[in-house]
Amino acid sequence: MNIQQVAGHTQLNMQNILQRLEQRGLQQKYVRAHALPAWWDAELENDSTVVAEAAGYIARRLGLDIASVFSPESAITFKGHSQTKFKKRQNTDSQSLEVAQGLALRVAEIVQYATPLTYRLTATTTLSAIQIREQLLTDNSTVRLDNLLAFCTSIGIPVVHYSDLPKGVKKVDGLVAYFDDQPVVVLCRAKQYDAWLAFILAHELGHILCGHATGQVFVDEDIAAEQDNEEVEANLFASTLLLGQFSGYKWQRMQHCGALVNQARRLSRQYKVDPGTICLNYAWQTQDWVTGMAALKKFEKNANAPQFINTYLGKYLSPEKLDRDSQEYLRLVTGV
């Protein structure tokens, strides 16, 4: 269907909406699969009333500014939120991260609304990585993804994994968003391993507890790229929390995977560190990712950390607080 002209202005229709979404980095295939309601059919594109209803679905699901969606001659934008701080590589412009941020922020908004948690810490609360580590080790042999999720829940921080982004969109590792002083962590890295996502979670927790992210959206493109003092501090927080005294260990390159597996087991017992975390620490320090990942796979043979995170979150969600479409959308993009 061609875009019609009414009184010199472009009339809203589905083709117009999809074209403008495409220009924003949201391909038609992605929009049709993720944002249109289940009852939508191409034959409905000639019905202006139904198109308007579908446009509302698209705006709500993707976290778009509804006025921009309904304005045929305007560029589509995401909903406004508090100030965003992007932590990015030097050669990345902030605009290229806005799609990932906008979509992840919508997921965070739904999770916050449906999770009956209240953030328990105040601006004057001091809680260091060592204090959290000692607390977790009273009931656990190591600090790892499962008990780190439990800790976040205990202080009122919901954590969700979301990586279902459109093809070609610039990816991010994670973000922290605040809604009425309630922080939510979204982990966006599409990795299956517990140890990998545990480090990103610890890093984002560091941003919260070190006061970097208060009251705003805080987006990390790549936590391994230390751009400034805040990123260095968050990485040190994560390393201390997960590795303890071991965080200062200096590696020599291993000749084979088996040697690293044996070393990881020994150091795990000695320092109370998850062996998968040790394998990642080795890989980061030596840049020997082949050996590091091969050893990690020995410890996490059936890893599915994204599913584990969202299944854990599901225990605390109150889906009845959401309208039916928000429930369906959250289930579609996270499995919750």
Query: What DSSP string describes 203-216?
Result: HHHHHHHTTSSTTS
Kind plus residue range of the DSSP H or E element containing 275: helix 275-286
Q: pLDDT tens, 57-111?
A: 999 999 999 999 999 999 999 987 656 665 555 555 456 688 999 999 999 999 9
Which residues lie below 8 Å from residue 254, measured CB to CB, with a gap of 6+?
260, 263, 282, 288, 291
**What's the pLDDT at 144?**
97
Contact 223, 235 (CB under 8 A): yes
| Euclidean distance between CA atoms 108 and 158, whole angstroms | 9
| Euclidean distance between CA atoms 51 and 40, whole angstroms | 9
Exposed, middle or buried, 82 (CB in 10 Å: 0-12/13-18/19+)? exposed
Q: Which residue has the tokens 């810490």?
A: 121
**Closest to 194 measured CA to CA, from 145, 136, 140, 137:** 145
Q: pLDDT tens, 170-180?
A: 888 899 999 88
- The 10 Å Cβ neighbour count of residue 250 is 6
What's the mean pLDDT in 49-58?
A: 92
On the question of pLDDT at 301 being above 70, the answer is yes
Q: In a 3-state reduction of DSSP, which class is residue 89?
A: coil
6 strand-pairing partners: 9
**What's the pLDDT at 225?**
64
**What's the pLDDT at 96?**
63
**What's the pLDDT at 4?**
44
Which residues lie below 8 Å from residue 259, measured CB to CB, with a gap of 6+?
none
Q: Sorting pLDDT into bands at 50, 70 and 90, what band is 219?
A: confident
| Euclidean distance between CA atoms 211 and 205, whole angstroms | 10
HSE-CB for 228 with a 13 A CA cutoff: 10
**What's the pLDDT at 211?**
87
**What's the pLDDT at 94?**
54
On the question of pLDDT at 280 being above 90, the answer is yes
Q: pLDDT tens, 149-164?
A: 999 999 999 999 999 9
The two tokens of residue 231 are: 């990123």
Mean pLDDT of the chain, nearest integer: 88
Which residues lie below 8 Å from residue 220, measured CB to CB, with a gap of 6+?
87, 172, 173, 174, 175, 200, 203, 204, 207, 231
What's the mean pLDDT in 108-125?
A: 88
On the question of pLDDT at 16 being above 50, the answer is yes
| Selected residue with higher pLDDT from 277 and 37 | 277
3-state helix, strand, coil split of the chain in percent (to 5) is: 55, 10, 40
On the question of pLDDT at 5 being above 60, the answer is no
Contact 22, 35 (CB under 8 A): no
Q: Sorting pLDDT into bands at 50, 70 and 90, what band is 47?
A: confident
**Closest to 52 measured CA to CA, from 77, 16, 23:** 16
